[in-house]
Amino acid sequence: MSQANDRPATATGVGAALPRREDARFLHGRGRYIADLELPRMLDVAFLRSPLAHAAIRGVEKPEGAQDRVFTAADMAGLVAIRPTTNVPGHRIVGTPPIADERVRFVGEIIAACVADSRAAAEDLVELVMADLDELPVVASVDAALSPDAPLVHESWGSNLSMETRFESGIEEAIAAASVRVTRTLDMARQAMVPLEGKGVVAHWDAVVGQLVVYSSTQSPHLIRNGLCHCLGLQQRQVRVVAPDVGGGFGYKAILHPEEIIVAWLALRLKRPVRWLEDRFEHLTAGASAREHRYEVTAHADAHGRILGIDAVLTTDAGAYSIWPHTNGFDAVQASGILTGPYDIRGYRVHTRTVATNKPPLSPYRAVARPGACFAIETIVDAVARAVGRDPADVRLDNLVGPAAMPYKAVTGKEYDSGDYPACLRRAREMMQEVEADPLPDTVIGTGYAMYTEHTAVSTATIAPLGVQMMPGFEHAGMLMQPDGSLEIRVGVQSHGQGMETTLAQIATEVLGIDPERVTVRHGDTALSPYSTGTYASRAIVMTGGAVAAAADALAERLKRVAGHMMQCGAAEVRLVGGELRGPTGSLSLEEAAHIWHFRPFDLPEAILRDGLELTAGYRPDGDRAPFAYAAHAARVAVDLELGVVTLLDYVAVDDCGTRVNPTIVDGQVLGGVAQGIGTGLFEEVPFDDQGQPLATTFGDYSVPAASEIPMIRLDHRETRSPYTRFGVKGVGEGGAIAPPAAVVNAINDALAGIGAELCAVPATPRRVLEAIFAARDRHGAAQEDAR
């Protein structure tokens, strides 16, 4: 293989399957999550939320005697609304109001905040607040929103179209050359993100430092601080955002939530600690949700299934407002930028429409938009294969970008840096063929494949043109060597399950040779770390890992100067090997070097003393280019043709995220992503009725797959180093979630092929599967009628 590390993995450095250093506290119930914080005199908040999807607020009546415990927009007049920014021409955008003023535009929008000594008492108070609402007409789907004379979510817009983009390259040539044309309309439902710990915020004023301290269950403490300062009119130095242990995020906690703003405002106003903990009902009904894409796609191919062009219209249901900072257009931008997938397709036309509806805002969720794009291209590839009568995996192999073409500039303008896509698919097929399907009674078995290539660790160059208020393509790390030679690393990303307390220590170990047991990684606190946009976009191991390595390099140089001086040789002659500073004539341990700097300053020259053993270093991948991770997934399903029930029998994922800093943790990221993707593909959905009422309000209606639904996923890896990143790493946090909806639906369609049925929507619930079967039967029946 062309890949493999050029360097053997050490027991504890990059490449080591080091057990996680985080585990012990969680296994003993000693994690500290937002709900675990206790502050004296803390008040709990509960919200009165709109029961209607669209209404004018005529008034809000506070209960007698509770005027000072109930707060409405009128009370919060000083609050500045959050304003997402955009450079996309014609993009109309309204940020989510912290609290509704004259209008409510989705069920669950906040109308009043009630505080009490306990959450139960706060909820009691909510029941006594009366909101006088005038019901307005609702648009609860893109079809309703785009119909002529549709009611308007934002009247000043004149329509419900928030953003529209178009891109075209080589499509006419492709259409002219193609002999096969396959068109499908593909739907991915709206879903909730469901970190097991809900969102939560605790805020209080720290009079000693003169700071508003906001504890938030967030992935991005510095971004939240930016947003809060804007809304509250505070200077950045006056706000500290701390993320404690965070019980899962997946994008839901990478945005600024209205509740964060209100809780911070209440803490300032009431001069007491204030807390809000999102409950599951709030999460499912009022929180930002995700996905909800429709693709109308035509593939133009030759008779052999070689795809020459993709022509697509993508419509996203973005809800009533935009989240911040990413904007409501993120899904459309991301999906249209990667729709041609890992294939060498030279003709492409895409028209995106981001549509406002009376639903909660759409938020980036693990792998933002790419599960939808992958679902679209990968089901179309299978449809093309069926149209030309070939095996879908063979058709894929003919269309994939080959390893010799790397780096490959896609028609979308994206540059795929490295990898062997066909070998990856061949491996997945081999693994799938190794295991015989175990048939279930009353079912038909099908196998499906899906691939993706994924822009990880998004670059500044990609984001800057969009004009959003975050700049992701770089990262810094602080590093401090203590007097005893132990090491503290301070980073602005937030580890919420990714195991960065382990992997970032491994990177320091790789460079410095220090025992990871002598390294502490501190994260998630604006008071501790350099600025960071946070943990999202599969960026932390690339960006922060690179920054930690850069800081370790710089620290190593300083230590070498100490050692060189003590050993009377040049710093350049000192090598750092296995935690030893070795010169031509002797060696010093890290502990000795640290000790000398701290306790024997008289032995060192002033320049070395001045620099010290604490520093901050920054990192950006070479040329501001992003590494592309990729994978081939394969699913085997048993479909009950009478009940529509799909059972996932087997699942294989072969991925390439470049060098794996910790292979165990990489496996965990992929497995977790795949399980969420299976949720998207088979189970998870927040439907709304035509009045905008959410129909999945508990886990009784919203099915999150458990161990009973997720098979023992089988993994393999390729390891093609990215040419642009430190250690050759690529991001891996999101990728697992991308391909499962496509792989699962392709497997279902393989099973349904015998009866001529085809599914074009996820999640593939029994009802959707049976409706696809009914449609095929009706066509068949009609054809028989015609034949008579």
Partner 1 sequence: MTRLSLTVNGEAVSVDTEPRVSLADFLRDRLALKGTHLGCEHGACGACTVLLDGVPVRSCITLAASCEGAAVTTVEGFEDDAVVARLRAAFTEEHALQCGYCTPGMLATARDIVMRHTTPDIAAIRHELAGCICRCTGYRGIVRAVARVIAERAPVGAAPDGDCGPDAESP
Partner 2 sequence: MKAPAFTFLRPASLDEALAALAAGEGEARILAGGQSLLPMLNLRMAAAETLIDIGGLTELGEIAEADGRVRIGARVTHAALEDGVGGDRWNGMLVFVARDIAYRAVRNRGTIGGSLCHADPAADWPVAMMALGATMQIAGPDGRRELDSEAFSLDVFSCALEEGEMLTAVSLPRLSPAARWSYRKMRKKAGAFGEAIAAVVHDPESGLVRVVAGSSPLGGPARHADLEASIAAGAPVEDAAIRRSLAAREPDLDRYEMQIHATCLRRAITEVMR
Considering beta carbons, is residue 1 or 706 the nearer one to partner 2?
706
Instruction: Supply φ then ψ for residue 718, to 5 degrees.
Output: -110, 160
Q: Which is nearer to partner 2, 324 or 651 (CB)?
A: 651
Q: Does 643 interact with partner 2 (rule: CB under 8 A)?
A: yes
Which pair of structure tokens corresponds to residue 6?
A: 């050029």
Among 774, 779, 781, 782, binds partner 2 (CB under 8 A): 774
Nearest to 364 by CA among 412, 277, 292: 292
**Cβ(332)–Cβ(343) under 8 Å?**
no
For partner 1, the closer of residues 317 and 685 by Cβ is 685
Q: Is 496 in the site for partner 1 (CB under 8 A)?
A: yes
Q: Is 471 in the site for partner 2 (CB under 8 A)?
A: no
Residue whose CB is less far from partner 2, 210 or 700: 700
The residues pairing with 297 across neighbouring beta strands, listed in sequence order, are 184, 312
Does 123 help bind partner 1 (rule: CB under 8 A)? Answer: no
Neighbours of 489 (CB within 10 A): 25
Report the DSSP pairing between strands 43-49 and 110-116. Answer: antiparallel
Stretch of residues binding partner 2 (CB under 8 A), selected from 131-139, 419-427, 431-439, 641-649: 641-649
Residue 40 near partner 2 by CB under 8 A: no
The 124-143 site mask, x for binding partner 2 (CB under 8 A), equals: x--x----------------
- The amino acid at 540: A
Q: Which positions from 394 through 453 interact with partner 2, judged by CB under 8 A?
A: 442
Nearer to partner 2, 176 or 695 (CB): 695
Residue 403 is given by DSSP the state G
- 20, 85, 119, 616: residue in contact with partner 2 (rule CB under 8 A): 119
Pick from partner 1, partner 2, none: which does 770 bind, CB < 5 to 8 A by kind?
Answer: partner 2
Q: What is 669-689 written as a DSSP string? A: HHHHHHHHHHIIIII----B-
User: Nearer to partner 2 by C-beta: 38 or 606?
Assistant: 38
Q: Which of residues 81-120 bind partner 1 (CB under 8 A)?
A: 118, 120
Contact window for partner 2 (CB under 8 A) among 117-125, 313-321, 529-537, 627-635? 117-125
- The separation between CA 432 and the C-alpha centre of its own chain, rounded to angstroms, equals 28
Query: Is 194 an interacting residue with respect to partner 1 (CB under 8 A)?
Result: yes
Q: Which does 123 bind (CB under 5 to 8 A by kind): partner 1, partner 2, none?
A: partner 2
Task: Report if residue 40 touches partner 1, rule: CB under 8 A.
Answer: no
Shortest Å distance, C-beta 123 to partner 2: 5
65: burial class by Cβ within 10 Å (0-12, 13-18, 19+)? exposed
296 by Cβ neighbours in 10 Å (0-12 / 13-18 / 19+) ranks as middle
Per DSSP, the three-state class of 185 is: strand
Q: If binding means CB under 8 A, how many residues of this protein chain bind partner 1?
A: 57
Cβ distance 490 to 478 under 8 Å? yes
Partner in contact with 124, chosen from partner 2, partner 1, none, beta carbon below 5 to 8 Å by kind: partner 2
Q: Out of 736, 742, 747, 758, which residue is the one contacting partner 1 (CB under 8 A)? A: 736
How many whole angstroms from its chain centre is CA 256?
Answer: 15
Work out whether strand 487-491 and strand 519-523 pair parallel, antiparallel, or are unpaired: parallel
Q: Which of 40, 156, 700, 785 binds partner 1 (CB under 8 A)?
A: 700
Hey, what are 299's tokens? 């593939």
Pattern 225-264, binding to partner 2, x per CB under 8 A? Answer: ----------------------------------------
Tell whether residue 219 is a contact of partner 1 (CB under 8 A).
no
> What DSSP string runs through 556-595?
HHHHHHHHHHHHTS-GGG-EEETTEEE-SS-EEEHHHHHH
Which listed residue (77, 208, 706, 787) binds partner 2 by CB under 8 A?
Answer: 706
Quick one: 267 exposed, middle or buried, by C-beta within 10 A (0-12, 13-18, 19+)? buried
Lookup: tokens for 639: 């479909």
For residue 165, the cross-strand partners are: 352
Select the binding partner of residue 20 from partner 2, partner 1, none (C-beta < 5 to 8 A, by kind).
partner 1
Total residues contacting partner 2 (rule CB under 8 A)? 28
| The two three-digit tokens of residue 617, written as one number | 């270093």
Residue from 120, 405, 461, 783 touching partner 2 (CB under 8 A): that is 120
Q: Which does 644 bind (CB under 5 to 8 A by kind): partner 2, partner 1, none?
A: partner 2
Q: Return the residues of window 742-771 that contact partner 2 according to CB under 8 A.
A: 765-767, 770-771
Q: Smaller CB distance to partner 1: residue 614 or 716?
A: 716
Nearest approach in angstroms of CB 443 to partner 1 is: 16
Specify whether the CB–CB gap between 132 and 327 falls below 8 A: no
- Please list every residue from 644 through 683 that binds partner 1, using CB under 8 A: 664-665, 667-668, 670-676
| Coil/strand/helix, residue 423 | helix
From residue 87, alpha-carbon distances to 17, 81, 535, 608, 765 in Å are: 43, 19, 24, 47, 39
- Which of 101, 173, 279, 580 touches partner 2 (CB under 8 A)? 279
Specify the residue, 34 or 369, whose C-beta has the smaller distance to partner 1: 34
CA angle 732, 737, 742 (to 5 degrees): 130
Q: Which residue in the set 67, 87, 236, 698 belongs to the binding site for partner 2 (CB under 8 A)? A: 698
Q: In what order do the strands lie in the sheet with 110-116?
A: 70-72, 110-116, 43-49, 274-277, 200-206, 211-216, 239-242
For partner 2, the closer CB: 280 or 575: 280
d(CA 362, CA 348): 26
- Select from partner 2, partner 1, none the partner in contact with residue 442, using the beta carbon and a kind-dependent cut-off of 5 to 8 Å: partner 2
Within 8 A by CB and 6+ apart from 329, the residues are 86, 88, 91, 93, 162, 163, 165, 318, 322, 354, 466
Q: Which stretch binds partner 2 (CB under 8 A): 179-187, 423-431, 595-603, 636-644?
A: 636-644
Interaction of residue 618 with partner 1, rule CB under 8 A: no
Side-chain-facing half-sphere of 679: CA atoms under 13 Å: 27
Minimum gap (Å) between residue 155 Cβ and partner 1 = 38
Looking up tokens 């803490």 gives 267
Binding site for partner 2 (CB under 8 A): 118-120, 123-124, 127, 279-281, 442, 642-645, 683, 698, 700, 703, 705-706, 708-709, 765-767, 770-771, 774
Binding site for partner 1 (CB under 8 A): 19-20, 22-33, 35-36, 38, 118, 120, 194-198, 245-248, 250, 279-280, 496-499, 664-665, 667-668, 670-676, 698-700, 704, 706-708, 710, 712-713, 736
